[in-house]
Every structure is written in structure tokens, then in C-alpha cells.
Amino acid sequence: MYVCICKAITDKEIRRAAARGANSLYEVRQALGVASGCGSCADMAEQIISEVNSSKRSGPSLYVPSAA
């Protein structure tokens, strides 16, 4: 879905940038240009960045089998 209409930036592009280390709206703006036009997409972009950051903190789950 398009988040930033001014720059034609999608949620997937924002998620990729955040997954690669852009941890704030400022850093994603530097990488993609999101929220640098009218700014109406800033809230949605921050929400997406926050989702990605919280999933990075939780990390992958580790399966440990029980002794049989």
C-alpha cells in the first residue's frame, strides 16, 4: 500500500529500510524521502517503523525440544 503519495513510497519500502537499520522517521526520510513533501504520511510511517523495531527486539523464537 502507498504510504507517501507525494514520493510514491510503499509500506514495504519503509519496512525494508527499517529492517536494514533506519530506526526513526528521520533515518527513513534520509533513506527514502518519506514525509518530506506534505508530511501527512509521517504518522503512518512512524507506526510502520515502530512495528518493525518491536519485531526486531523480540527476535526469532528458538525451539528447544524436550528430552525424550
Tell me: the pLDDT tens digits for 14-43?
999 999 999 999 999 999 999 999 999 999
Residue span of the structural domain in which 26 resides: 2-58
19: in domain:
yes
13: in domain:
yes
Query: What would the grid cell of residue 44 be?
Result: 503512518
Q: How many angstroms from the chain centroid is the CA of residue 40? A: 17
65: in domain:
no
Q: How many angstroms from the chain centroid is the CA of residue 62? A: 24
Portion of the chain with pLDDT greater than 90, in percent = 78
68: in domain:
no
Give helix 25-32 / helix 42-58 axis angle, nearest 10°: 110
- pLDDT of 37 reads 93
Number of domains in the chain: 1
- CATH, residue 16: 1.10.10.1100
